[in-house]
Structure 1
Amino acid sequence: MESVDAVVAHIQGLSGSPEEVSQLHSLLKQSEDALRSQAARLAPFLDQLDPSTHTLGYLFFLEACLSEPNSSEQAGYFNPYVVDFINSCSIEQMRLAPEKFISVCKSLKDQVMQFEVPIRGIAPLRTAIRKLQTSSEQLTTLHSDYLILCLLAKCYKAGLSILDDDIFDIDQPRDLFLFCYYGGMINIGLKRFRKALECLHNVITAPMTSLNAIVVEAYKKYILVSLILNRQVPPFPKYASPTVQRNLKGYTQPYIDLANCYATGTFSELEACIQTNLEKFQSDNNLGLVKQVLSSLYKHNIQRLTQTYLTLSLEDIANATQLETPKEAEMHVLRMIEDSEIFATINQKDGMVSFQEDPEQYKTCAMIEHIDSSIQSLMVLSRKLSSLDEHISCDPAYLTKIGKERQKFDFDEFDSVTHKFL
């Protein structure tokens, strides 16, 4: 067994050409157990290595240091080393041991969460994701770690830097569930409810053979966001897993009851339902979202009025939507105008509201650019789907399964049918 000094010498001497690094990789794997057994005395050797030049060796040493159980203070000692390594490491060398790189990054995530300073891990993990990815379409196991830090730090906009990527390459199903679930929560925090609904929809419609806690929690939020955005919860699509269609509603009954009360449009019934299930909503950390559902009922009732009336007094709006005073009605109308949820003007003198049509004519340069961008995105997606379809059609496992299915049919029966038409 080589000494630690000898391993350091190998790292310093074999970190040049790809051939040397490959040889070093073999040597380091042989020394891995020895490094772990001496983890407590490896820290000083990190200062003898350059993370940008000796990336592979530095990674083996750093991962060994972090693998030993340490006190929180001792573990926190390595955080600056981890951050410096992530920022300066060579991508080519790092990708020879990606599992160790992931382990080091997750250690950083755990530490900043333990010290309750999640914001310190956001920038390093974003850099780590970009270095680990072979393309922006790849979902790594660090994506969900990054998003949970954004959530805990309430830096929701930072999460958009990876949420806006189109993901097609997924290794582990759990990574997809967590990525979409946390993505839904971040979009809820930003009040991007349509995007949140897309993320949560991806969780509950992903292929699965059994329910998991992530899917159950995602469906609870899916119900609430659907009510806020669309006033109703859509049925499960046909492509949703039979497991989801049969069992998921049984785990979310208080939320189903809430949706049924919401459908009546009666504020008092909805409020009573919330009070009945208040403890459940609180324990699920969904009470804030439930209150937004309650508030949205006023909005949807006001929106219904715009479909019937051209003008209406604030007092009539308050009565029709079960608001207590015309002043409350005015505040709701003003917020909805500001958010472009309705188009209206308020005459302060007589307290009348005039409802108007959407002024968008869809002929401005900005709108044309938006439409063109959407068309280009659809064309890219279409090409991607065609490529995936071609890849699946050539997959041996798929062809074997299809072959077995075809054997179930009796081709003599088809021949007899064909002869009738000859």
Structure 2
Amino acid sequence: MESVEVLVAHIQGLFRSSDEVSQLHSLLKQSEDALRSHADRLVPFLSQIDPSIHTLGYLFLLEAYSSESISREETSGFLLSVVEFINSCSTEQIRLAPEKFISVCKIFKDQVMQLGVPMQGIAPMRMAIRKLQTSTEQLTTLHSDYLLLCLLAKCYKAGLSILDDDIFEVDHLRDHFLYCYYGGMINIGLKRFEKALECLHNAVTAPMTTLNAIAVEAYKKYILVSLILNGQVPSFPKYTSSAALRNLKSYTQPYVDLANSYARGKSSELEACVQTNQEKFQSDSNLGLVKQVLSSLYKHNIQRLTQTYLTLSLQDIANVAQLNSPKEAEMRVLQMIQDGEIFATINQKDGMVSFHEDPEQYKTCGMTEHIDFSIQRLMVLSKKLSSLDEHLSCDPTYLSKIGKERQRFDFDEFDSVPHKFM
């Protein structure tokens, strides 16, 4: 063990100057094999190093220790060591060996999942992301791990702390797919269906040369959320990859059938489609969403009535919307009024419903603040896009690939991304 003891002495003897840290980094990389060969005996040495001062040395030892399987008896101590390290480590030093930091954090995530305590990993993983990021616009490989812990712990609101960031930098495409998919699930859990649809849309339409399983699962939920929110599934925008255009529907046929049944507006037909494919929906863990789709058909049938009639009896609403009774029609209309989905009044004396126009005049302080916030955000995004466009326009690799085909990518040809997601 003398070699490890000498290495620890070097770690303790070096401080935070850039030259010393650089020297230590070279020494640590040369010692990786030796550290891994003594992985099961590194714990006592970790206690001799201050992670806030000697972050880089501590990280190499901790990663080497975690490279071997960790016994159940050692798990508690390992988790405490990782939490302490994440909270106190130097941002500058971990960025010298980001792959080591990521490895430790992923093993930490795996351990809390195996113990069935995902909640314990949420705060440390959020801190790890912020320390690893160069800016909040960067998507790290830890983002999806963090969101997975939030999902498993059913702590959906914690996921919003990173989902509300605008992401412009993606290192690995798989991280993007998982981030969008898990983000969609978290927003579904919070019933933020507009945001969920935005996340799932980004997963389905992301560049891909071959279809991947994440995009397939995202498209299943994309269909269901689209039906719940808008009563229809939009066609693919033109910037969708050819791999997705060719294959997604064939891999999600029960969901496509559900959307087709929904479009015909008959509850009995939709219920039959759900019954036929119930086992598939159940195995995909989407049966709860499918039941919400079934319920939303009645809502959208009622909403269509507001576009045609000024007044209508509860009995007529029950007949047209295929509800069981005027009482059920009354309860659904009341719920929709409460949720702001329609504007109407019910005269219980004669059982008549009067439909009204949207009373919003767009002149309240709250609405003005909302519009101003949206405008400011769009201005920031516009500047960012202009900067990215300028950077790409000067990138030799991009220019050599695009060549004469550049004219094919005129922005006027692109379908717009829904702006309701702001």
TM-score, reference length from structure 1: 0.93
Q: What is the alpha-carbon distance in structure 1 between the residues aligned to residue 54 and residue 317 of structure 2?
A: 70
Partner of 2:303: 303
Q: What is residue 253 of structure 1 aligned with on the other side?
A: 253
Q: Which amino acid aligns with 2:200?
A: L
Q: CA deviation at 1:32?
A: 1.3
Deviation at 1:145, TM superposition (A): 0.3
Is the contact made by 1:157 and 1:190 (CA closer than 8 Å) also made in structure 2?
yes
Q: Deviations over 1:137-163 (max 9, x none)?
A: 000000000001111111111111101
Question: Structure 1 residue 86 and structure 2 residue 92: aligned?
Answer: no
Map Cα deviations across residues 65-119 of structure 1 (whole Å, 9 max, x no partner): 1111233343343001101111111111111111111111111110111111111
Structure 2 counterpart of 1:281, one-letter code = F
The alignment of Structure 1 onto Structure 2 pairs a total of residues equal to: 406
Instruction: Give the corresponding residue for 2:57.
Output: 57
Task: Report what 1:123 is aligned to.
Answer: 123
| Paired letter, 1:149 | L
Using the TM superposition, give the Cα deviation of residue 45 of structure 1 relative to its aligned residue in structure 2, in angstroms. Answer: 1.5
Structure 1, 211-220 or 74-83: larger mean CA deviation: 74-83
Q: Deviations over 1:201-256 (max 9, x none)?
A: 11111111100100111111111111111111111111111111111111011111
Higher relative CO (Cα under 8 Å, sequence separation at least 6) belongs to 2
Counterpart for residue 379 of structure 1:
379
Partner SS state of residue 238, structure 1: coil
Separation in 2, partners of 1:81, 1:221 = 38
Retained in 2: the 8 A contact 1:76–1:111?
A: no
Alpha-carbon shift at residue 405 of structure 1 (Å):
6.5
Partner amino acid, structure 2, of 1:110: D
Kindly provide the amino acid, as one letter, of the partner of residue 185 in structure 1: M
Letter of the 1:172 counterpart = H
The answer on whether the counterparts of 1:14 and 1:20 sit within 8 Å (CA) in structure 2 is yes
Which shifted more, 352-361 or 275-284? 352-361
SS at structure 1 position matched to 2:353: strand
Q: Which residue of 2 aligns with 1:417?
A: none
Q: SS of the residue aligned with 1:345?
A: strand
Q: How does 1:27-66 map to 2 (within 5 A)?
A: 27-66=27-66
Partners of 1:220 and 1:252 within 8 A in 2: yes
Could you tell me how far 1:314 is from its partner in structure 2?
2.6
Which stretch has the larger CA shift, 73-82 or 250-259? 73-82
Please, which runs of 5 or more residues in structure 1 have no aligned partner?
407-422
Contact 1:66–1:75 under 8 Å retained in 2: no
1:352 aligns with 2:348: no
Cα distance in 2 for partners of 1:404, 1:91 equals: 44
Give 1:294's aligned residue: 294
**Structure 1 residue identity aligned to 2:125:** L
- The structure with more radius of gyration: 1
Matches for 1:293-332 after TM superposition, within 5 Å: 293-332=293-332
Q: State how far apart, in whole Å, the 1-side matches of 2:403 and 2:162 are.
A: 40
Deviation at 1:52, TM superposition (A): 0.8
What secondary structure, in the 3-state scheme, does the structure 1 residue paired with 2:346 have? strand
Tell me the distance in 1 between the aligned counterparts of 2:403 and 2:356. 60
Shift of 1:403: 5.1
**3-state DSSP of counterpart to 2:354:** strand
Identity of aligned residues (%): 79
- In structure 1, distance between residues paired with 2:72 and 2:343: 56
Alignment of 1:146-225 (within 5 A): 146-225=146-225
Q: CA–CA distance in 1 between the matches of 2:83 and 2:104?
A: 10
2:44 aligns to what SS in structure 1? helix
Cα distance 1:346–1:203, how it changes in 2: closer, same or farther (>3 A)?
same
